[in-house]
Chain A
Amino acid sequence: MTEYSKVLEDLIKKSGASVGDRIVVSFTDESYEGLLMPRPEIGDKNCLIIKLDNGYNVGLRYKRGMSIKKVAGGKANLGKAKNISKLSFDKKKPSISLVATGGTISSRVDYKTGGVYMLMDPDEILQSAPELANIVNLRSIESPFRKASEDMEPKDWYVIAKAVAKNMNNGDNGVIVTHGTDTLHYTAAALSFMLKNLYKPVVLVGAQRSSDRGSADTTMNLICSAYAAISDIAEVSICMHGSSSDDYCLLNRGTKVRKMHTSRRDAFRPINELPLAKIWSDGRIEIINKNHKKRNNDEKVVADTKFEEKTALLKVYPGSDPDVLEYFATKKYRGIVIEGTGLGHVPTQNIKTWIPKIKNLIRNGIAVAVTSQTIYGRVNPNVYTNLRILYHEAGAIPCEDMLPEVAYVKLGWVLGHTKDLDEVRKIMLTNIAGEITKSTDFRAFLY
């Protein structure tokens, strides 16, 4: 369990000590006293880790003559936070609910071992932002599952969509979904399509810094999300830092936002559209994009979670082999989104041309949609000959200014409702949830 090498495991076993116990480690010429720590995943398994009384962890390599003696039992629940006081909320404040799904925002570091805990009480999330009690009445907190966002699957979106719809129809003013950041924009897109007749805010929020550090972005992200959840902006949106400073969050439409940086707080940027609003931590909301639905508390939302999971997203590149398409065909895929180059190209005139294979897929009833790996901008079916071949001759669907990830989610959702390729094409090219903007704001690039 402690993941040490055999010799160390044996010594530990012989001493009767387990992780967290106070031990003395003796060598022929010296000895160390401290708490036995579990072995970190990486590093030398032949090195015993103890936490000295000054708080430092050090590694002691096994040597002949090494002995371990347990001197005192450790405290149970090593390093887990105790005394988590529940926040009490004012019933007179606008009610919202929270759906916690995992990710950095709901993970904690075990302060002794350094291990990251995913399974934490949703109440603990609120410890990061006790200010929420001044803003909203958090009526319900539920956690349908705990997953890092890279592990999420379409199935998880259905669960979130249903949980959101249930709470919303229970009379909440809005719902906050806490989520890992890696695929936050996929989930945001999925909810955008799946939550039909939505007239209240659904705010997705995550954290780029874990809450064990003083510099965590969680606090402001949650506070701004709460303000967004009680605002009149009735959209599925992502609310995360707008700049590297702790000054405001950007509220971005769920279908027009992408994680654009691995680690910065302000990683989530609007793509091909201005953000919906800036939300300051004191509650000020500056509407930037008036093109959004307004709140209507009388409407009921419906979770329409039909989704074709045999949908794929792939990328072409110089030297890419179109044979991969055959793999998807044999695996009975029903739809493929290709991240093309530039205006929406695939290799066309060279030996590894993708055109015949694409034609073949479409002939066999598989939908092929194309977006651009430039991320910004709109694909175009006409400008070059090669584009005309792909879209007019082969019959691929040019996905306007949709993000590749959004096109993937949308295609899966459309195929969940119809397999008729003409119908699929029609819906793919119709704006459903703000994923297609007919005219692009000049200021939206690199916002």
Chain B
Amino acid sequence: MDYKIDYKKIGLKVGIEIHQQLDTRKLFCECPSLLRNDKPDILIKRKLHAVVGETGEKDTAAQYEESRQKIFVYEAYSDSTCLVELDEEPPHTMNKEALKIAMQIAMLLGAKPVDEIQVMRKTVIDGSNTSGFQRTALIAKGGAIDSVRIPFINLEEDAGRRISEDESSVTFRLDRLGIPEVEIATDASITSPEQATDVAKKIGMILRSCHVKRGIGTIRQDVNISIKHGARVELKHVQDLRAMSKIIENEILRQLNLLEISDELKRRGIKKIPRDFVVLSSKLEHTRSNLLKKAMNNGIVLGVRLPGFGGLVGKEIQPNRRLGSEFADHAKTAGVSGIIHSDELPAYGITEEEKQRIARALNCEEKDAFVMVVAQPEIAKKALERVILRAEQAIKGVPREVRATDGTNTRFLRPMPGAARLYPETDIPPIKITKEFLDGVRQSLPKTLLEREKELSEVMPAELARQIVHSRNYDLFEEIINEIKIDPKLVATTLTSILKDLKRKGVKIKMTNNDYKQLFRFVAKGKVSKEAIPKIIEKAKPGEIQDVIKEFEILPDGEIRKIISNIVKMSPEKSKKELMGIIMSRINGRADGKKVMKLLDTELKRMKRQR
């Protein structure tokens, strides 16, 4: 698929939604925002029920989840989770620090705070919230990044962490539930995959200027995409910004191909699909397919004809994903492990002859396709019903849905939730945003990384400034130059290129943030030369930084003179440059190069005079 898509022509509209965790305690209780991997000591099992929403009808997404009838297992820790996360106690008042940070972010994005915040309940019934809803509040309105508008900025609680899932249950860990996060959603005015990446990057820079959590899983990007005649599709958790534009491209491709399939089905005059399920087990009694044999041990083979779908189920809609893959996604939600469709046969040990036999049993004609599943009768039927529903959507075009990323592809996750899903959280009174509070936020507004980059490029090369503000070590950099009187350029170089070089050499770096600070304190006092920095980092072991630094402490001038005079005596034939090399390697970073050079000059002059 090499051709370049004209995004304007296809009416591409992209919006980005970013969730960023804040680095504070939880939003509605005093528990630490601490993710844990040790064994949880609390285990609670719950069921959630779809509730009648504002319109009096049960929400589609909610009903969908309920139909799965899962048991939700919640894991918690008695020493870092409380009754609030377990939905056994009403929420406490909103965390002021989190609100302050969220407001800083809103202001940096140019948004205007609302006068009074009303915390809302957003119905979520996938089990990730013990309460059945997520608490969320709109705190500011009308921000922008370049020309892309950010209509609203919300502060909300993060959901429970999905740990595992089987046929009957999903397990969540409540350590993440309630961690404050800001939600920043742009409007759908982004018109190319590259622009999407750029906007996401810029928002990321602003977020990182504030007191937010860092590292994997602390920021999540969702992308909304639609094209003309397509439908709005939400791609969840586009984790890697480098892959973002490729993921968007692939989604565009998928929608374009689905539209083509829809046109073709309409041309073939397909309107609906009869639900004529046929048990095919007897037709496959003597199959040599191990896959079928194994599965048929505790299930039946159930098949259904898809009129007019011949050749289309196997059509590639994304690299390595076919329409059949979409069918399989839906079938899996009923509890089967996958589907088998006619366009991929013969395969899996199923012969052409068996394929024909099945086609006959299902009354398939030439342009028809069929799908079969192997499972318990009830599950098999449910799975095929879901396949048919999806196939009927294929006639119409692109279904509105939420999709999960899978490499640079995406797969079906759940239908798009209905709109009417928010109602006030009556357990939390409205929060008045006072002038005093906003003044406090304004006064504490951090400089954005872009501003810092500009400032830093006055004391170091622009490229180095860019590198350090983008670096994972940026916070450490700021801490060091705030606490220690030292050349920022030296710190920046150390934390970027020197570390990179050491890593390239295969050095496993074991320095803690405090070790770095110790090291730079010695450098600042002139007790360690900057030449010794990489050597110290290379040798550093946890808890032993002092000893390592001692090893590299600067030699008194007398010592250096002694070394110089010895070496000069031993190799009087060598050039000054050669001598310098030998001396420096003997000194091993324990003296500043310029000083050694000066002392060497003196020594050479002295020798000359003697001769």
Interface residues, chain A, CB within 8 Å of chain B? 30, 32, 40, 42-44, 47, 49, 52, 54-61, 79-84, 109-116, 127-128, 209, 211-216, 219-220, 244-247, 262-265
Contact = CB atoms under 8 A, between A and B. Distances in A.
A214 B423 contact: no
A111 B114 contact: no
27 contacts: A30-B142, A40-B118, A40-B429, A43-B430, A44-B116, A49-B116, A49-B118, A52-B138, A54-B422, A56-B154, A57-B138, A59-B114, A59-B117, A80-B56, A82-B56, A82-B57, A83-B56, A114-B426, A213-B51, A213-B131, A214-B50, A214-B132, A215-B130, A215-B131, A219-B47, A244-B86, A262-B89
Contact of B49 (A57, A59, A110, A214): A214
Which secondary structure dominates where chain A touches chain B?
A: loop
9 A-B pairs with the lowest CB-CB distances in the bound complex, closest first: A214-B132, A59-B116, A114-B424, A55-B422, A82-B56, A61-B115, A111-B54, A43-B430, A56-B138
A211 B130 CA distance: 14
Contacts of B424: 40, 57, 113-114
A59 B433 CA distance: 10
Interface stretch (B119-127, B263-271, B285-293, B380-388): B119-127
Given A54-B138, A56-B120, A59-B432, 20 more contacts: A32-B141, A42-B429, A44-B430, A49-B116, A52-B152, A55-B122, A56-B152, A56-B154, A57-B120, A60-B116, A82-B56, A82-B57, A110-B423, A111-B53, A111-B54, A114-B426, A214-B132, A216-B49, A244-B44, A246-B47
B49 A128 contact: yes
B442 interface: no
B543 interface: no
A135 to B, nearest CB: 16
Nearest to B151: A54
Contacts of A111: 53-54, 420, 423
Nearest to A129: B49
A52 B419 CA distance: 12
Contact of B117 (A58, A81, A110, A262): A58
B51 A56 contact: no
Interface string B128-139: 001111001110
A82 B118 contact: no
Given A212-B51, A213-B133, A59 B121 contact: no
Contact of A61 (B116, B120, B422, B429): B116
A149 to B, nearest CB: 17
Contact of B88 (A42, A44, A58, A244): A244
Contact of B425 (A49, A84, A114, A265): A114
Nearest to B47: A246
Nearest to B43: A245
B509 interface: no
A154 B263 CA distance: 72
Contacts of B426: 109, 114-116
Nearest to B48: A214
A42 B130 CA distance: 27
B194 interface: no
Contacts of B48: 214-215
Contacts of A209: 87, 131
B131 A214 contact: yes
A214 B57 contact: no
A263 B54 contact: no
A84 B56 CA distance: 7
B449 interface: no
Contacts of A30: 112, 142
B92 interface: no
B51 A58 contact: no
Contact of B116 (A58, A84, A115, A220): A58
Interface of B: 44-57, 62, 83, 86-90, 112, 114-118, 120-125, 130-133, 136-138, 141-142, 151-152, 154, 419-426, 429-430, 432
B434 to A, nearest CB: 10
Which secondary structure dominates where chain B touches chain A?
A: loop
Nearest to A51: B422
B271 to A, nearest CB: 29
A263 B151 CA distance: 37
Most interface-central of A32, A112, A214 (chain B CB within 10 A): A214
A113 to B, nearest CB: 7
Given A111-B53, A128-B49, A244-B88, A55 B120 contact: yes
Contacts of B86: 244
B430 A47 contact: yes
A209 B118 CA distance: 21
A112 B423 contact: yes
B432 A43 contact: yes
Given A213-B131, A214-B62, A246 B116 contact: no
Contacts of B114: 58-60
A29 to B, nearest CB: 9
A32 B114 CA distance: 11
A216 B50 CA distance: 10
Nearest to A47: B116
Contacts of B112: 30
A141 to B, nearest CB: 18
A111 B142 CA distance: 26
A127 B52 contact: yes
B138 A263 contact: no
A277 B138 CA distance: 47
B416 to A, nearest CB: 14
A265 B120 contact: no
B137 A47 contact: no
A216 B62 CA distance: 14
A114 B423 contact: yes
A84 B133 CA distance: 22
A276 B511 CA distance: 62
B116 A214 contact: no
Contacts of A83: 56-57
B45 A245 contact: yes
A79 B54 CA distance: 5
A55 B154 CA distance: 12
Given A43-B432, A49-B118, A58 B56 contact: no
B184 to A, nearest CB: 14
Contacts of A82: 55-57
Contacts of A61: 115-116
A79 B86 CA distance: 28
B66 to A, nearest CB: 9
Given A55-B421, A56-B154, A81 B133 contact: no
B374 to A, nearest CB: 29
Contacts of A40: 118, 424, 429-430
A128 B117 CA distance: 31
A412 B141 CA distance: 60
A222 B46 CA distance: 16
Nearest to A210: B426
A55 B430 contact: no
A37 to B, nearest CB: 8
B56 A247 contact: no
B83 to A, nearest CB: 7
Contacts of A127: 52
Contacts of B87: 209, 215
B555 to A, nearest CB: 67
B481 to A, nearest CB: 40
A43 B432 CA distance: 7
B269 to A, nearest CB: 36
Given A83-B57, A244-B44, A55 B115 contact: no
Nearest to B88: A264
Contacts of B422: 54-56
A236 to B, nearest CB: 27
Nearest to A59: B116
B421 A57 contact: no
B54 A112 contact: yes
A259 to B, nearest CB: 14
A55 B119 CA distance: 11
Nearest to A82: B56
A341 to B, nearest CB: 29
